[in-house]
Amino acid sequence: MAVLENIDIREILPHRYPFLLVDRILEVEGEERIVGMKNVTANEPFFQGHFPEYPVMPGVLIVEAMAQVGGVLVLLNVEDRKNKLVLFASIEEAKFRRPVLPGDTLIIECKTLKRKATVVKMQGIASVNGQVVAEGIVMCKLADKPAPGAPPQG
């Protein structure tokens, strides 16, 4: 049973197809831990070029999926989240253990390591069928959403 379905996630994150990489949130523990899910289908647009003969989900998109799951955790507890963005700040110690293929269900767990006023550091672990496929430490910054047409401030 999902805590948040895709429609709920779209109320929290500004991402949209083809760049929304979280289908469901399965668990949330306060501000400390979240588990999300991404169904990886053969219809993903990135498989057309990565790689046509051997489709593999790009590692950078697995990291982005981690950041999006973490972003849901950050934004869930922000009252005026419609006026905020969670910006990717860094990735440390990224490791990729095995390819993620069409048909896989990617389970992403993020645990808060450190939290300051506008910066959150999280440990992200992505797995398929209980086997770790990728991991890393993701840092995100909570920022005010710029006015329409204005560039984000960084």
Mean pLDDT by runs of 10 across the 154 residues of the chain is 92 95 97 98 95 96 98 93 94 98 98 96 98 98 88 64
Mind telling me the catalytic residues? 50
Q: Tell me if the bond preceding 45 is cis, omega within 30° of 0.
A: no
Residue 9 has a pLDDT of 97
- Specify if 150 maps to a domain: no
In a domain, 98, yes or no: yes
Does 96 reside within a domain? yes
Q: Give the CATH number, domain containing residue 40.
A: 3.10.129.10
Nearest Cα to Cα of residue 75 among 3, 11, 7? 11
Contacts of 29 (CB under 8 A, 6+ apart): none
Tell me whether residue 70 is in a domain.
yes
Quote the domain boundaries for residue 32: 6-144
65 within some domain? yes
Q: Beta strand pairing status for 24-29 and 131-144?
A: unpaired
pLDDT of residue 152: 61
Cα–Cα separations (whole angstroms), residue 38 to 27, 64, 79: 14, 11, 26
pTM of the model: 0.94
Residue 109 lies in a domain: yes
Residue 152 lies in a domain: no
Domains in the chain, number: 1
Query: Any idea how long the chain is?
Result: 154
